[in-house]
Each structure stands twice: as C-alpha cells, then as structure tokens.
Amino acid sequence: MIATGDIHVTRPWKIAIVGFGKIACEQHRPAIADSPDFQLAAIISSSAHAVDVPVFRTLEDAFASGLALDAVALCTPPQVRQEVCDLATARGLAVLLEKPPAATVAQAQALAAMGSSRGVTVFAGWHSRFAPFVEEARTWCAAHDGLHGRIEWHEDHLKWHPGQAWLWQLGGLGVLDPGINSLSILTVIRPGAWHLSGAAFEQPENADTPRAARFSLGRNGDHVDVSFRFAENTSETWSIQLRAENGDVLHLADGGAALSLNGGAFRRKANAEYAGVYRRFAELMRSGQCDVDTAALCLTEEAFRTAEITLVEPVTI
C-alpha cells in the first residue's frame, strides 16, 4: 500500500480488477499488461476463470489474504461502486472507475470526496476521451464558432453487453450506457454549460431503462441533435458530426478512431483508449490528485429526469 502522492515509490504499482466482465477482460487486462506503471495482482470476481493471477470473491477476501495492493480498477456495474470504493480508499488504495463512474452525479461526487478526504486518487476513466482524434477535434472546436451537428451512437447490445441484466435496471442507464461515451467526448472537445431538451425514450416493458433515446443539446449558439439506439444484428455507428458557422465540417467516426475534415477522406488510427486511461491514472497517482468529471453524467441524468417515455416490446437480456 502506498501514499499516492509519493513519486518515489517503486513501480509497477500492484492493481486488482474488481468485476471481470467483457470490458474488464478485453480492455483493462491487456492495458494493464502493457503498462509500465501497473502490474495485475488479482481479480475480484465470482466468475473469473482461466486467469494467471489470484482470484478472490470479494475485496475483503483479498485484504484478508495479506495481498499487497496499491490500486483497484472498479469494473462492476455502477450501482454497487460506493461500498467497494469506500473499502479501497479506506485502505489507502487509488481507485479507477470504469465509466460511468456512478449511477448518479451525487454518487460520483461522493466517490470523489472519499478520495480527497483520504488523500488518495479517485479517477473517473472516461475511456472515449482517449480515442486517437479527440484531441485534434478539441483543437478544431476551439477555433470555430456556432457549431451545429448530430451525434449517432447505435450498437448491438447483445454483442457488447451479453447477459448483463444490470444494464436494464435502475442506475444501469440502458442505451445511455454506451451513449454517454459520446457525451464524454462532446463535453471535452466543446467544454461549457450544455443544456438538454426534448428527451424522448423508447423503453422496453420489462426494463427500467431505454433501448433508444433522442434529445437535443445546446450551448452558447451551438446545437447538437442526439440519437442513441440499441439495434440487434444491424450496422453500428459511433459518430459525431459538427458544422461551424463558417462552413467547416468535422466528422469523428468509429468512436473517435477516425476523423474527416470538410468532407475529405477519413484518417484512421488504431484505438488504444485504455492505454491512455492508465497513463492518466498513473499521472494522477504520482501527483496525489483526483479527477472525477461529471459533465456527461449530468446530461444523462437530465435526460432521465425529463424524458417522455414510450413503452415498447420486451427486450432480450
């Protein structure tokens, strides 16, 4: 266990992944393996298998074993993060929160307060902000006024969230769980006080969260229409298109891994979002800082608060 602001501590830091679903297995685990800053020391899961590190059912079991840890990556559903974050920060461990950091803004702020009050890092790892062309898009936006555009985030939930019933329960966000990735990008490339209007949800009869969502976002002369949709066995799109008042056009595609300007050919780069997440986490640990941005979660919460809901046929979980 370390003081996260102590830059002289020998690395790599020992980290445990808490919750071992699809994203933890396919994104967090290889990112940690490739990181010079972290070493995977344990997995906390009731179902993990075929792994080459110790597996514990609970974080308390890991502590009871005497395992030395410096950090945890919380990849559990957002509804259960508070208790685990409390346990970890009380032991002086830094905490990385998979997106969304919590089910509500208030809960996310409470997690940040845990880290600040205990002098350890808590980081909301909005992974889409580390897509290859997000920084270039931010520079473009800063140089343009009067942006109007459209976000389309359409994907197959059975492919990306197989068997994950929590997605359809209160706090699970439904289609806004992937959709919030686009909001995390928009609020960093065009920071400021965005407001939301006209929210409409399509909600399955057997769910508490929507399978489709539409709304509009506005900010100081900017206007963006948003469409999120779960669609089984159809083409997927993760797209942000913006047109400035001078006619210039920016199109981020593939979640930020492709960029076209003014209708030109797309430039593409290999996506290494989670490598960026862990680099940022290490920077925060070295400086002893917390970073729990809630801009995207605020907009999501506003959509849930104001949406007109249309009930539709039950969803396959």
CA–CA gap between residue 287 and residue 31 (Å, rounded)? 21
Instruction: Tell me, yes or no, if 159 is annotated catalytic.
Output: no
137 neighbors 258 (Cβ within 8 angstroms): no
State whether residue 92 is helix, strand or coil.
coil
Per annotation, catalytic residue among 14, 22, 99, 269? 99
CA distance 127 to 58: 25
- Give the integer Cα–Cα distance in Å for 213 and 228: 5
Report the distance separating Cα 226 and Cα 183, nearest Å. 9
**Closest Cα to residue 183, out of 300, 292, 80?**
300
Helix, strand, coil share (%) of the chain residues, nearest 5: 35, 25, 40
Question: Active-site positions?
Answer: 99
